[in-house]
Amino acid sequence: MKSVTPISSQNTSQLPQTVFYQRSELNTILSIYGRMVAAGEWRDYGISSLRDVAIFSVFRRTAEQPLYQIEKRPKLRSKQGEYAVIGMDGQILKRGHDLKTVLRVLERKLIRVVS
C-alpha cells in the first residue's frame, strides 16, 4: 500500500514562485491604459506572469511588437526598484520603487499642444 503525503508538509520553498500584479497595481496601469486608448494611441494589451517577472505589454495593433512593457521584478525591490517601463527597442525608459512615478513617463505622451 502506498503512503500519501499531505501537500502542506512538502517543502514549498523549492516550488517556483510566479510573480503577479496586485489589484491596486493593475488599477493604476489600467487607468493610464484607458486614457491612452481614449486618445487613440493604444489598442491592445497582454499580461504575462512568469517565474521572476510580471509583464504588462501595450500594443498599438495586435499583430505588432509591444510599444511598451511595464515590468514588475520583486528581486530588484531593494536595489533599483521593482517597476520598469521598457520601450519597443528594449531600452529602460524609467525604473523605480513607486509604480505611479514610473508610469509618469507614459503620461507625457498624453500631453499635446492645442492651437
The confidence score (pLDDT) of residue 13 equals 55
Which pLDDT score, from 0 to 100, does residue 113 have?
45
Is the per-residue pLDDT at 108 higher than 80? no
Q: What is the mean pLDDT of residues 70-82?
A: 86
Q: In 1-115, which residue ranges form alpha helices assigned H by DSSP? A: 23-38, 99-107
Q: Is the pTM of this model over 0.75?
A: yes
Largest CA distance in the chain: 82
> Whole-angstrom Cα distance, residue 110 to residue 88?
18
* Cell numbers standing for residue 71: 515590468
Residue 83: the pLDDT is: 93
Mean pLDDT for the chain?
A: 82
Which residue from 49, 53, 41 is spatially nearest to 84, judged by alpha carbons?
53
Q: Are 82 and 102 in contact (CB under 8 A)?
A: no
pLDDT in tens, 19-70: 888 899 999 999 999 988 888 888 899 999 888 899 999 998 767 788 999 9
The whole-number pLDDT of residue 76 equals 80
Q: What's the pLDDT band for 77 if we cut at 50, 70, 90?
A: confident
Separate counts of helices (H) and strands (E) for the chain: 2, 5
